[in-house]
Amino acid sequence: MSTVEVAAADSALDLLELMQSSARQLNYQGKLVYQQDSNLATFRITHSSQGGEESVVYLDPKTGRDVASTPEEAKSFSLSTYNKLQPQTQKAYSFDLGAQEWVANIECQVVVARPKDAMRYLHRYCIDPHTGMLLKYSLMDRNKAVVEQLMFTEIELTTEPTATAAESEGRVDAVALAAAPVLDAVPLEQNNTHSWSFAKLPLGFEKIAEIQQSATRTQIIVSDGMTSVSIFADSKGEDEGLAAQSIYTSGAMNILTREVGNYMITLMGEVPESTLEAIVDGLKYTP
Q: Is 126 domain-assigned? A: yes
- Residues 148 and 12 placed together within one structural domain of the fold: yes
Q: Is 184 domain-assigned? A: no
Q: What is the DSSP secondary-structure string of 50-97? A: STT-EEEEEE-TTT--B-SS--TTS---BTT---PPPTTHHHHEEEEE
- Residues 127 and 213 placed together within one structural domain of the fold: no
CATH number, domain with residue 79: 2.50.20.10
pLDDT digits 0-9 by tens, 13-52:
889 888 888 877 889 999 999 988 778 888 888 888 776 6
pLDDT of residue 49: 76
Residues 111, 124: Cα–Cα separation, whole Å: 6
- Residues 41 and 136 placed together within one structural domain of the fold: yes
Q: Residue 155: CB partners within 8 Å, gap ≥ 6?
A: 28, 29, 30, 31, 32, 104, 106, 133, 135
125: amino acid identity, one letter? Y
pLDDT of residue 69: 56
In b/e form, how buried is each residue of 146-177, taking b as 16+ CB within 10 angstroms? bbbbbbbeebebeeeebebbeebeebbebebb
Residues 201, 276: Cα–Cα separation, whole Å: 10
Average pLDDT over the chain, rounded to an integer: 78
Q: Is 27 domain-assigned? A: yes
Q: Is 21 domain-assigned? A: yes
CATH number, domain with residue 262: 3.30.200.100
- Residues 156 and 201 placed together within one structural domain of the fold: no
- Residues 159 and 221 placed together within one structural domain of the fold: no
- Residues 106 and 214 placed together within one structural domain of the fold: no
- Residues 215 and 271 placed together within one structural domain of the fold: yes
pLDDT of residue 286: 77
| Lowest model confidence (mean pLDDT) among 155-159, 161-165, 269-273 | 161-165
Domain boundary among 167, 183, 205: 167
pLDDT of residue 273: 94
Return the sign of the alpha-carbon dihedral for residues 177, 181, 184, 188: positive
pLDDT digits 0-9 by tens, 195-219:
889 999 999 999 999 999 988 899 9
Average pLDDT over residues 136-140: 93
How many C-beta neighbours within 10 Å does residue 64 have?
A: 10
Residues 98, 126: Cα–Cα separation, whole Å: 9
pLDDT of residue 191: 46
8 confidence band (pLDDT: 50, 70, 90): low
Average pLDDT over residues 142-146: 89
Average pLDDT over residues 82-102: 82
CA 72 to chain centre: 19
Return the sign of the alpha-carbon dihedral for residues 141, 147, 148, 149: positive
Average pLDDT over residues 120-129: 94
pLDDT of residue 195: 82
90 confidence band (pLDDT: 50, 70, 90): confident
Instruction: Kindly tell me if the per-residue pLDDT of 172 is higher than 50.
Output: no
79 confidence band (pLDDT: 50, 70, 90): low
pLDDT of residue 177: 32
221 confidence band (pLDDT: 50, 70, 90): very high
- Residues 93 and 160 placed together within one structural domain of the fold: yes
Instruction: Kindly tell me if the per-residue pLDDT of 166 is higher than 60.
Output: no
- Residues 76 and 141 placed together within one structural domain of the fold: yes
Q: Is 178 domain-assigned? A: no
- Residues 212 and 151 placed together within one structural domain of the fold: no
> How many domains, the chain?
2
Instruction: Kindly tell me if the per-residue pLDDT of 71 is higher than 60.
Output: no
Instruction: Kindly tell me if the per-residue pLDDT of 2 is higher than 70.
Output: no
| Lowest model confidence (mean pLDDT) among 169-183, 207-221, 241-255 | 169-183
Q: Is 185 domain-assigned? A: no
Cα–Cα–Cα angle for 192, 220, 282, rounded to 5 degrees: 110
Average pLDDT over residues 126-135: 93
Instruction: Kindly tell me if the per-residue pLDDT of 7 is higher than 80.
Output: no
In which element (H, E) is residue 100 found?
Answer: strand 93-103
The edge-to-edge listing of strands for the beta sheet with 217-223 is 206-212, 217-223, 228-235, 263-269, 253-260, 246-250
pLDDT of residue 23: 75
3-state secondary structure (DSSP) of residue 247: strand
- Give the residue numbers spanning the domain of 243: 196-285
- Residues 153 and 221 placed together within one structural domain of the fold: no
Q: Is 182 domain-assigned? A: no
Q: Is 190 domain-assigned? A: no
- Residues 157 and 255 placed together within one structural domain of the fold: no
Domain boundary among 150, 167, 184: 167
